[in-house]
Amino acid sequence: DIQMTQSPSTLSASVGDRVTITCRASQSISSWLAWYQQKPGKAPKVLIYKASSLESGVPSRFSGSGSGTEFTLTISSLQPDDFATYYCQQYNSYPITFGPGTKVDIK
Amino acid sequence: QLQLQESGSGLVKPSQTLSLTCAVSGGSISSGGYSWSWIRQPPGKGLEWIGYMYHRGITYYNPSLKSRVTISVDRSKNHFSLNLSSVTAADTAVYYCARGVVVAAADIYHYFYMDVWGKGTTVTVSS
């Protein structure tokens, strides 16, 4: 299985901050990476697919980059609606695996 | 707009079989280019992909659960199902169904990410 790690596990930030979350894969996954946002009691919502492609309807303040084993999710200016947990997910090989999550909370 | 809705047994006794159904509305489960997955999330923990099916009858199960999992489809009802046998307390979780967008394929391998999710259903394993 491909192991996914994320850092940090928790991030405290203020509205308007630029936020960056890192995701690393235990082996190369090319660009087969997605990012999801999950709020308490809700299903995950896809933000980014193929490492850097913005899902339709997702605000442009979200962006993704990277390839191979290292990836980042950036929120250019944190908004109140963005406080949530973020997961990366690889789909380069089965089983599909998720990172452990990064919780973004209010500073 | 496509919607998914999970339903099934919310309380299951240890050693019994967990059975869930995902009803698909606003689209056909037989449409090409999409996969159909089950994912679960234990209380306070992260996401675990259980497995998927593709409309041509292809299935894949996470090896961690493979001996206990079956994913099947009922095209006449436009839904797909999850059976997980011999459950224990470790199977207590919120179970989600999700549609996958297949962005590429190689032989029987499908590259997909999940773009539409059900709201999830809580399953508790307890006597």
Candidate from B112, B115, B117 with C-beta closest to A55 = B115
The answer to whether B120 faces chain A, any CB pair under 8 Å, is yes
- As a whole number, mean pLDDT of residues B58-78 equals 93
Interface mutation vs chain B, best among A35, A55, A91, A103, most B CBs within 10 Å: A91
Collapsed DSSP state (helix, strand, coil) of residue A93: coil
Residues B2-12 have pLDDT tens digits of: 999 999 999 99
Residues B25-51 have pLDDT tens digits of: 999 998 889 999 999 999 999 999 999
Distance from CA of A77 to the nearest CA of B (A): 24
Here the tokens at position B21 are: 């159904």
DSSP B66-124: GGGEEEEEETTTTEEEEEE-S--GGG-EEEEEEEEEEEEEETTEEEEEEEEE---EEEE
Distance from CA of A33 to the nearest CA of B (A): 8
| Enclosing H/E stretch for A2 | none
Average pLDDT score over chain B = 94
Residues A36-91 have pLDDT tens digits of: 999 999 999 999 999 999 999 999 999 999 999 999 999 999 999 999 999 999 99
Phi-psi region of B56 (alpha: psi -120 to 50; beta: other; left: phi over 0): alpha
Distance from CA of B5 to the nearest CA of A (A): 12
What pLDDT shows up at residue A12?
96
Q: Tell me whether residues B115 and A100 touch, CB distance under 8 A.
A: no
